[in-house]
Amino acid sequence: MKVHWFAEASYPHLPPNFRETGLSSWVTTPAHLHDPYEVGEMCRMFIRLMQQADREGFDGLAVNEHHQTPFAVTPSPNLLAATLATTTEKAALLIIGDSLALYNPPMRVAEEMAWLDCLSNGRVIAGFVFGTPMDSLYCYGVPPLELRERFHEARDLITRAWSEPEPFAFNGKYTKLRYVNLWPRPLQPRMPMWVPGSGSVETWDLALDNDYCYGHLSFSGLHSAKPLVDAFWDYVDEKGIEANPYRMAFTQLICCAETDAEAEAKYAEAVKYFYRNRYVHPGFESVPGYRTAKSMQSMAQHAQQTTSKLSPEDKARAGRGEMGFWEYDKHGFIVAGSPETVRQRLEELAKDLKIGQLIGCLHMGNLAEEVAVENTHLLGTRVIPKLKHLWTEFEDRWTPTPPARGVRASATPALVRNRELARA
């Protein structure tokens, strides 16, 4: 199994009564609530933690894109990846991902990811996302009925730009370019591609038809996620595709300490801060046209299956930060405890959900840096090595292969041509 380091870069200094004010934590959060100096300190902390994760043996370092929110102050995952490309050595740079419909023209994504792949010696995983309604529709103003069209057109342009041997013209509905001639090209012959989603059937088709990794990125806990994850694997079987665990990724908040008691003492407040302050005004969470009727029906059906283990009242209490620490653990919102407890729980989760790519969230809310350092160290040295035996019978086509990590190809086509010209 592969384990990747991730955290939502949550601003840690919101006022204690933020939730009680009724303010949305997305789109319209008053900007006067943040201190730019503290944002800089916070971002440097996350970079240090990811550099540590690279040293401690994590398989990937995940960065994402959100806008106008203290929940995740990461407007450009490519900027974070560029910082990590030259300050880390082994871990994949998991960009999950660039919101393709928000780039005009989307050639910028093709150029930047290719450049990052060269800079990192072939460690980039290209993640493409539709974006949350808050990001794509309200912050960036993309009409909901255009979102998927823009995404697919941009994806087509980007993948062609990485692979076409000669310059070509691109005449799309939203992007028209007379000359597409990408410099540089990615180091990897075929960049691994991931598509995160929240249960849309169309996104499942996109991932399966193109052999992408599908990422179920949710913070609602194991019990809420299981019906959707099980439905995904049923869908894989229906399409006659190999149920390779590596083709699915899953996010999980992890709180590891030397003992179970220490875990509660060190993480309880940060977990409550994380859930208490991620309230989004209902008007921003969706809009007609964002999801298709087919996906809405499918998601409603799976949501009904969730209530047997997690009632709507419990889910609401969790979202308000009102659950006790071990309640969050019981319902799967977090996996907490000693290294052995965490190892056992993660192995059970991986087998239950058939997950080959675990995106471990090692920092949450207002957690102190020293606790996140300990969390990363314990996972990297005492948990991850004991999970490596999982799924070894399957091929992982969705993370960079070892030869691409720091080993320069001896005879790429461009290098061969240049040598022939030099001899001539």
Radius of gyration of the chain from its Cα atoms, rounded to whole angstroms = 21
- Distance from C-alpha of 116 to C-alpha of 184, rounded to nearest angstrom: 10
Structure letter (DSSP) for residue 102: G
Residue pLDDT, tens place only, 165-177: 999 999 999 999 9
Is there a contact between 305 and 227 (Cβ–Cβ < 8 Å)?
yes
pTM of the model: 0.93
Bridge partners of residue 393, in order along the sequence:
none
pLDDT band at 294 (very low <50, low <70, confident <90, very high): confident
Domain containing 181 equals 2-423
Overall domain count for the chain: 1
Looking at residue 92, its pLDDT comes to 97
**Dihedral sign computed on CA atoms, order 137, 142, 143, 147:** negative
Cβ atoms within 10 Å of 169's Cβ, excluding its own: 9
Give the pLDDT confidence score for residue 167 in this predicted structure. 97
Task: Give tens-digit pLDDT for 370-400.
Answer: 999 999 999 999 999 999 999 999 999 999 9
pLDDT at 53 over 80: yes
Q: CB–CB of 336/255 below 8 Å?
A: yes
* pLDDT reading at 411 higher than 50: no
CATH number at residue 94: 3.20.20.30
Q: Assess whether pLDDT exceeds 50 at residue 19.
A: yes
Confidence of residue 410 (pLDDT cuts 50, 70, 90): very low
3-state helix vs strand vs coil in the chain, percent to 5: 50, 15, 40
> Coil, strand or helix: which one is 101?
helix
